[in-house]
A and B are shown apart, each in its own frame.
Chain A
Amino acid sequence: MRILAIVKRIIKQLLRDRRTLALLFFAPLIILTLMYFFFNGETEELVLGTVNVDVWFTAALEESGVHVIPYEEAGRKTVIDDELDGLLLVSNGEMSLVLLNEEPSASKALSAQIRTAAMRLAAEPEGRPQEIVAQYIYGGEDTAFFDVLSPVLIGFFVFFFVFLISGIGLLKERTSGTLERLMATPIRKGELLAAYLAGFGLFAVVQTIIVVAFSILVLDVVVAGSVWHVIMINLALALVALSLGILLSTFAATEFQMVQFIPLVVVPQIFFAGIFPVEGLADWLQAIAKAMPIYYAAEALKAVMYKGLGFDAIKGELAALLAFAAVFITLNLLVLKSHRSL
C-alpha cells in the first residue's frame, strides 16, 4: 500500500536524523525543566513572623525548615518592611495567616508547611483541628505559577516542535525535488498527505507521551484530572500543528524561510495561550485569541490539569482543535493541487 510505503520511509528518515529526533524529544524536556526551576525557586529559606503562636507550633515549624521570628505585635506593614514571607497570628485561639505572595511558590510552600504542622499537632491527644484563614498581600490563592503555566507550556512545546519538524520535513521533500518526482508516480495527493500525517503523527504521539510523563513523574506537575485527557488534548493539538506546519511549508522556499514563520505564527500563540489572562484583554484581542489553536488547547489543559474537570468540560475545546485540523488539512489538499490536478 502506497500510504504505508511513505509512512515507513518517513520513519526511517527521521530515525536516522539523530539531531532532529533529539530536538523533538529532549528539547521540550530541557526547557520545561528550566522553567520549572525558574518558577519554583525554593532554595531560599522561608521566613515567617509569628504573634502569639505557642512554643510547640513554633518548634514544629522550625523542624520543617521554616525560619520563625516571634513578634510582640505585627501586621501587614511588618511583613513588607521586614521582608517576611508570611505572618502567623493567633488571637482567641483562631489562627490567621498573612502571606506576602511576592513569589507564589513561596506562599504555597509556607502555607503547606503551616498546615502540616497544624495537622501534626492536631493528631496529638490534647490538640484540636485548626482552621487557618489566609490573606494575601499580593495576588491570591490561585497564583501557583508553574501549576498554571505547566499545562500551557506542555501544549505549547508539543505544538511548536511538531509544527517545525513536520513543516521542514515536507519542505525538504519539495526542495530536493522528490515531491515532484513523487508526482510522476501514481500516488494521489490525499494519500501523500495522509501518509505525512500518519508518519509524523507517530512521532508526535511519542513526543506527547514523553513530555506529559516527564512533567508528571519528574517535575511533579499536578494533574488534578485524567492523564488520558491530557494526552488526548495534546494529540489533537499535535494534529493541528502537523497540518499547519505542512500547510505553511508550501509558502516557504527554504528551511530558513520556514524558521521565519516562528515569530509570525508560533510566538503570538504564546500570548494567547493563557500565560497572560485573556479575559482582561480588549474585545478585538479576545477575538484574535479565539482564532488561535493554542488558546483552546491551553483552556482545555488548564481545565483538566489544574481544575481537575472531566471530559464534559473539554469537549468544546477538543472539537475546536479538530475543526482547526480539518480546515488546515482541506487547505493542504487545495494547495497541493497546484502541482498536479490529481
Chain B
Amino acid sequence: MEQAVEIEGVSKSFGKKEVLSDISFLIGEGMIYGLIGPSGSGKTTLVKMIVGIAAPDAGAIRIFGVNVPNLELLEKVGYMAQADALYTELTGKENLDFFASLYPMKNAARKKRIAYAAGIVNLTAELGKRVSAYSGGMKRRLSLAIALVHNPKLLILDEPTVGMDPELRLSVWTELLHLKKEHGKTIIITTHVMDEAERCDIVSLVREGRILATGTPTELKQAYGAKDLEEVFLKAGRENR
C-alpha cells in the first residue's frame, strides 16, 4: 500500500511546555486513521502540522511523498478545524462558494461540488440562511461540507462530529466510509468518542504529546486484553507511567 502521510520524529513545544515529543507514524492510502485522546493531548497541534499551518520544531511530514508545507499539496487536502471557521455574515452557500473558488475548478464543476457537499451533510435546505442563524451542529456540518467541497484525496477532520445528534453522526460516518471505499480517500480523524474510534481502520492513542499505542481496534483490544477501546486507553496509560 502507498503511504498517504509519513510523519517522522515530529516534536513541538509552546514555550517550555512540550506538546508533542518525537512522534512518528505512517498512514496508508485509502484508510481511516483515528487519533484518539483527551483534550490537551496534542491531537489538534499534530493535525495542524499535517495540514501545514503549524510548523514542527523538529522532524518532517510528507503527504503523498511531498514535504509539508506545499501550496499545490493543499489542493489535495481537505481540512476541518476544531473551531468552526466560517463567515457568519454570509449564507451557507456563499461560504461554500467562497472556499470552493480558492481551488482551481470550473464554474459548473464548482456548482456540482457545492450541491454534493451540502447534500452529504444534509444542509441543502438551509444553504440560503446566514450562518449567524445556524445552530452549533449546523455550523459543524457546514465546516465538514467546506472540507469536502474541492474533492480532496486526503481529509483531515478535527473532532468533526461534536455537537451533532446521533442520527446525523451516523449519516456522516456512513458517508466517510463511502468516501473511503468508493473514492479511495484517506481520512485522518481526531475524536474522543470511543465508539467512533472503533470504526477507524487504525487508531493511535495520544496522551500528553506521546503515542501510547497504535493498531487496529481489534488488535489493540487483544493486546491489552480489554473489552473496549476505553479500557485499552486506561491500561496503556498506566503502563506508560
Residues of A within 8 A of B (CB): 2, 4-6, 8-9, 12-13, 16-17, 176-178, 180-188, 339-342
Is residue B87 contacting chain A, with contact meaning CB distance below 8 A?
A: yes
By a CB distance below 8 angstroms, the chain A residues around B83 are 177
A185 touches B90 (CB 8 A): no
Known contacts: A180-B85, A181-B81. The answer to whether A340 contacts B90 by CB under 8 A is no
Q: Does the CB pair B87–A13 fall under 8 Å?
A: yes
Question: What's the least CB distance linking B59 to chain A, in Å?
Answer: 16
Chain B residues with CB under 8 Å of chain A are: 48, 51-53, 55, 69-72, 74-75, 77, 79, 81, 83-90, 94, 98-99, 101-103, 130
Contact A178 B101 (CB under 8 A): no
Q: Give A178 to B79 CA distance when docked, in angstroms.
A: 12
Across the interface, do A9 and B53 meet the contact criterion of CB distance under 8 Å?
no
Check B74–A13 contact: CB distance below 8 A. no
Query: Contacting A185 at CB < 8 Å: which of B89, B94, B99, B130?
Result: B99
B89 and A188 form a contact (CB under 8 A): no
Across-interface contacts of A181 in B (CB, < 8 A): 79, 81, 85
Residues from chain B with a CB closer than 8 A to the CB of A182 are: 102
Given known contacts A5-B98, A17-B89, A186 and B75 CB-to-CB distance under 8 angstroms: yes
Nearest-Cβ distance from residue B103 to partner chain A, whole angstroms: 7
Is the CB–CB distance between A183 and B53 below 8 Å?
Answer: yes
The DSSP consensus for interface residues of chain B is loop
Q: Nearest chain A CB to B1's CB is how many angstroms away? A: 26
**Bound Cα distance A9, B98 (Å):** 7
In the assembled complex, which residues on chain B have CB atoms less than 8 Å from the CB atom of A17? 89
Contact between chains at B79 and A184 (CB < 8 Å):
yes
Give Cα A133 to B32, complex, Å: 93
Chain A, Cβ-Cβ closest to B77? A184
Could you pull out 5 A-B pairs where Cβ atoms are within 8 angstroms?
A: A9-B94, A180-B81, A186-B71, A186-B75, A187-B102
CB atoms of A185 and B85 under 8 A apart: no
Contact status of A178 and B74, CB under 8 A, knowing A2-B101, A186-B102: no
The minimal Cβ–Cβ distance linking A64 to chain B, given in whole angstroms, is 55
> If the complex has contacts A9-B87, A177-B85, A186-B103, are A340 and B69 also in contact, measured as CB distance less than 8 A?
yes
* Given known A12-B90, A16-B89, A178-B87, contact A185–B103 (CB-CB < 8 A): yes
Pairwise interchain contact B84-A177, C-beta atoms closer than 8 A: yes
Contacts of A5 in B (CB 8 A): 98, 101-102
Contact A185 B74 (CB under 8 A): yes
Q: Which residues of B contact A4 (CB under 8 A)?
A: 101
Chain B neighbourhood of A340, CB < 8 A: 52-53, 55, 69
List chain A residues, Cβ under 8 A from B103. Answer: 185-186
**Besides the contacts A2-B101, A12-B94, A16-B89, what 13 more A-B pairs have beta carbons closer than 8 Å?**
A8-B98, A9-B98, A13-B87, A176-B87, A177-B84, A177-B85, A182-B102, A184-B51, A184-B74, A185-B74, A186-B71, A339-B53, A340-B52
Tell me whether B55 and A341 are in contact (CB under 8 A).
yes
Complex: chain B residue closest to A185, CB-CB:
B102
Q: Which residues of the partner chain A approach B69 to less than 8 Å between Cβ atoms?
A: 340-342
B162 CB to nearest chain A CB (Å): 15
| CB within 8 Å for A184 and B52 given contacts A177-B81, A342-B71 | yes
A178 touches B90 (CB 8 A): no
Report chain A residues within 8 Å CB of B101: 2, 4-5
Contact A13 B89 (CB under 8 A): yes
In order of increasing CB-CB distance, the 3 nearest A-B pairs are A181-B85, A177-B85, A5-B101
The CA of A12 and the CA of B91, in the complex, are separated in Å by 10
A184-B79, A186-B75 are known contacts. Are A2 and B102 too (CB-CB below 8 A)?
A: yes
Q: Which residues of A contact B88 (CB under 8 A)?
A: 176
CB neighbours (8 Å) of A12 from chain B are 89-90, 94
A24 vs chain B, min Cβ distance (A): 15
Nearest to A9 among chain B residues (CB) is B98
A187 to chain B, nearest CB (A): 6
